[in-house]
Amino acid sequence: MAKLVLVRHGQSLWNKKNVFTGWVDVPLSTVGIEEALKAGETLADVEFDAVYTSVQVRALETAMIAMAQNKSEKTPVVIHSDGKMSEWGVIYSEEMNKNIIPVYRDWHLNERYYGELQGMNKAETAKTYGDEQVHIWRRSYDVPPPNGECLQDTAERTIPFFKENILKQLKEGKNVLVSAHGNSLRSIVMFIEELSKEEVLKLEIPTGVPLLFSYENDKLTRE
């Protein structure tokens, strides 16, 4: 039986300021760091074989801080597939190569792109456009913010990536940690639990709280 753990990054500095973040690359706040540490304590006994994160720093920070609490003797190592880091980041020790946990970063797991709302304070945006319009942009399934993504758009990139990469690892019996974002993870949970577009709108994923699933007989079940 393989395990899948999904964790939304800890509170970011723009979460703290109530600002639409989307693809803006903002780090964790001190509260977010504490949330990541707490998540790591919860997951300390799980032996992970692979870690996936978005390319955004708050997701990578959360994963690496959490993995620092892990009791495994293996070391999480970010895998670089291009540029100088891929060339010079090679591990030449066969022993150490066998004792790493690969950490893969991919933009398909990024947060929903909030378009022209990025960097805007949520309360001020509601004053400008009205509470109802902002609520529609934030919570509807198929209505995007100006020049941004709706949840449906996000699902169209996250779910194929999940099937082609993460699900493949689970089928091989590997334990996988995914550190990503509220909306990218909502879309993945929608796929796993076969939620309707109405049901997924009620789904809330809090920051820094791991969601655990067991994979057995080609089925993922929440623990």
58 known ligand binder: yes
φ and ψ of 100, to 5 deg: -120, 160
Active site annotation includes 135: no
For 165, the enclosing helix (H) or strand (E) is: none
State yes or no: 22 annotated in a binding site.
yes
Q: What is the 3-state secondary structure (H, E, C) of 23-80?
A: CCCCCECHHHHHHHHHHHHHCCCCCCCEEEECCCHHHHHHHHHHHCCCCCCCEEEECC
Residue 194 designated active-site: no
On whether 115 is known to bind a ligand per the annotation, the reply is no
The residue from 9, 35, 149, 181 that is catalytic is: 9
| 21 belongs to an annotated ligand binding site | yes
Take residue 164 and report the two structure tokens written for it: 């082609």
- The catalytically annotated residue of 108, 111, 149, 181 is 111
Is 129 part of any known ligand binding site? no
14 appears as a binding residue in the annotation: yes
On whether 111 is known to bind a ligand per the annotation, the reply is yes
Q: Is 11 labelled as part of a ligand binding site?
A: yes
105 labeled binding residue:
no
Give the ranges where the chain is alpha helix by DSSP (H). 13-16, 30-42, 57-67, 83-88, 94-97, 122-129, 131-139, 151-161, 167-171, 182-192
Annotated binding site for substrate: 8-15, 21-22, 58, 111-114, 122, 138-139, 182-183
Q: Which residues are catalytic?
A: 9, 111
Annotated binding site: 8-15, 21-22, 58, 111-114, 122, 138-139, 182-183
